[in-house]
Amino acid sequence: MCGRIAQYRYIDDYCDVLGFDGKWLSSIENKPLDRYNVPPTTMVVLLHQAEDGRHADLVRWGWRPHWAKDRPPPVNARVEKVAHGPFFREIWPHRAICPIDGWFEWVDEGGPKKQPYFIHRRDGTPTLCAAIGQFPDADEGHGEHDGFVIITADSAGGMVDIHDRRPVVLAPELAREWLAPATPKERAEQMALHHSEPSEAFKWFKVDRAVGNSKNQGSHLIEQSKAQSIKGRA
């Protein structure tokens, strides 16, 4: 999974798709986010649960433990290692959902530059990505070590033909279980390893290379280009 996503709906759209009763605690204004080209290290909408309730916060995309200052904060974590490796041990118990409208991958098709593709759910609903992180304190707010990573899995040759990794995407009922503090860590690991939405749930197509510059924004970045998508998967 390459490090670029889209979040352009209302915050309520992301919260509602999970199907929880009651309100979310959030300081995010409920208006369209209009972010069509979101790069790592920026603030991204994240849904998580704390003792005082369910939160919708803006959290920095990327995290590293305090002792790993010699490397950039990763934005993704491999599902095969995340539950047992030392790097993410501190945040593995702290689960979240990163709701996105889609993500971008770049494919080498033999030209001078790689071709970007936009991938999103076929049914048009938000994509609920499994994530873990260090979240803002309910009383003290954001801290300098806050951040999160999206969990990724092998996508059996790429979302087919596109890339060898993709986010672990959960159906709403599994996403609710993922967020629940009572869900055992062992169960969460099995969900991440075996219950991600299949590739058939998604569609993808070529988009304008302007998405390569993260300063570029606008809905035109997720519109299908005139070129044919891989294997006609659009």
The 10 Å CB-count burial string (b at 16+, else e) for 139-148 is eeeeeeebbb
Closest CA to 225 of 211, 187, 217, 177: 211
Q: What's the gap between Cα 223 and its chain centre?
A: 20
What does the DSSP assignment read for 108-154?
--SSSSPEEEEEEETT-PPEEEEEEEE--BTTTB--TT-EEEEEEEE
Bridge partners (DSSP) listed for residue 38: 5
> Does residue 105 have an active-site annotation?
yes
Catalytic residue of the set 2, 15, 98, 129: 2
> Does residue 2 have an active-site annotation?
yes
Are 127 and 169 spatial neighbours (Cβ–Cβ below 8 Å)? yes
Query: Looking up tokens 């060898």, which residue turns up?
Result: 164
Q: Give the alpha-carbon dihedral of 157, 158, 162, 165, to 10 degrees.
A: -140
The residue type at 150: I
Catalytic residue of the set 15, 29, 98, 105: 105
Tell me which residues are annotated as active site.
Answer: 2, 105
